[in-house]
Amino acid sequence: DQQVKQNSPSLSVQEGRISILNCDYTNSMFDYFLWYKKYPAEGPTFLISISSIKDKNEDGRFTVFLNKSAKHLSLHIVPSQPGDSAVYFCAARRSQGNLIFGKGTKLSVKP
């Protein structure tokens, strides 16, 4: 039973445009959500996070939106750059709990 779902395995975007990566979750007890970025042959690296008491968090070109009523979060990358091409994992946790990861979305940003 997947508690964190990333339903799009891949996404292709033109350089300079917006990339929107989506994530849905089923457990209403999750209180913290994170996005990780992973390049081939490397470990995931932390990108941005959001607490369940907020609906938006911004860090440079990256913004995460949280819609608790819909149990949905999204990562917006504006503008997209070729170096953003990677697999993006959504993760969630309950208080004091371990991270639960989605399957990932492979983003390709074309020059």
Partner 1 sequence: NAGVTQTPKFRILKIGQSMTLQCTQDMNHNYMYWYRQDPGMGLKLIYYSVGAGITDKGEVPNGYNVSRSTTEDFPLRLELAAPSQTSVYFCASSYSAEYGYTFGSGTRLTVV
State the residues that interact with partner 1 by CB under 8 A.
4, 6, 9, 32, 34, 36, 41-46, 49, 89, 93, 95-104
**In angstroms, what is the minimal distance from the CB of 21 to partner 1?**
14
Decide whether 69 or 96 has the Cβ nearer to partner 1.
96
**In angstroms, what is the minimal distance from the CB of 16 to partner 1?**
29
Q: Answer whether the bond into residue 44 is a cis peptide, omega within 30°.
A: no
How far is CA 47 from each of CA 1, 29, 44, 89, 111, rounded to the nearest angstrom? 26, 22, 9, 10, 22
Decide whether 76 or 103 has the Cβ nearer to partner 1.
103
Do 77 and 19 contact (CB within 8 A), yes or no?
A: yes
**In angstroms, what is the minimal distance from the CB of 56 to partner 1?**
18
**In angstroms, what is the minimal distance from the CB of 69 to partner 1?**
24
Task: Give the span between the Cα atoms of 111 and 108, in whole angstroms.
Answer: 10
Decide whether 62 or 101 has the Cβ nearer to partner 1.
101
**Intra-chain end-to-end CA distance of the chain, in Å:** 38
